[in-house]
Amino acid sequence: MARKQRLAPVANLARHQQLMAEKALADAHRQVNSRKDMLTQLQSFRAQYDQGDYRSQVGARSMAALRDFESFLERLDLAIEQQRQELAQTELAAKELHLALQTATTRAESLQLVLERSQALAQRRDQAREQQLLDELATMGALRR
């Protein structure tokens, strides 16, 4: 039983690390989804300007308004590109966290298996000792007769 008692805290720590890795991965997936939503909104916003008749409306007003509108579209395109980059980085981080979770899960499962085997071995030893004692008592009883 001593080995089981020594391994139990290590197995508990590995399980805790696995749970923390699961939480971190879930957070990363939420971030990925949030960034995807933001990118979709920006792209939708840009598509509205592409489909709309904004250029002709702005052009009819003044050249300054047209320059401002073009500048706005450039900033919008830049924001879309930045969002794509952030999404790619977040997805990469999520993949790394997924690998970390796989490692933590493997470690926790391995330690749990070692713990279970250690417990089974200790039980077999206890049963063997108990059987040996019963055999000795039976032998002693047979000798006394």
More confident residue, 37 or 11: 37
Q: Give the domain CATH number at 61.
A: 1.10.287.1700
Query: Can you tell me the mean pLDDT for 16-43?
Result: 96
Report the chain's mean pLDDT, rounded to a whole number: 88
**Tokens standing for 24?**
């971190």
Q: What is the pLDDT of residue 60?
A: 60
Please indicate, yes or no, whether the overall pTM of this predicted structure exceeds 0.95. no
In degrees, to the nearest 5, what angle opens at C-alpha 100 toward C-alphas 88 and 107?
165
Q: What is the pLDDT of residue 37?
A: 97
- Per-residue pLDDT tens over the stretch 61-110: 778 888 888 899 999 999 999 999 999 999 999 999 999 999 999 999 99
Domain limits for position 30: 2-144
Q: What is the pLDDT of residue 56?
A: 60
CA 63 to chain CA mean position, Å: 52
- Looking at the structure of the chain, the number of domains it has is 1
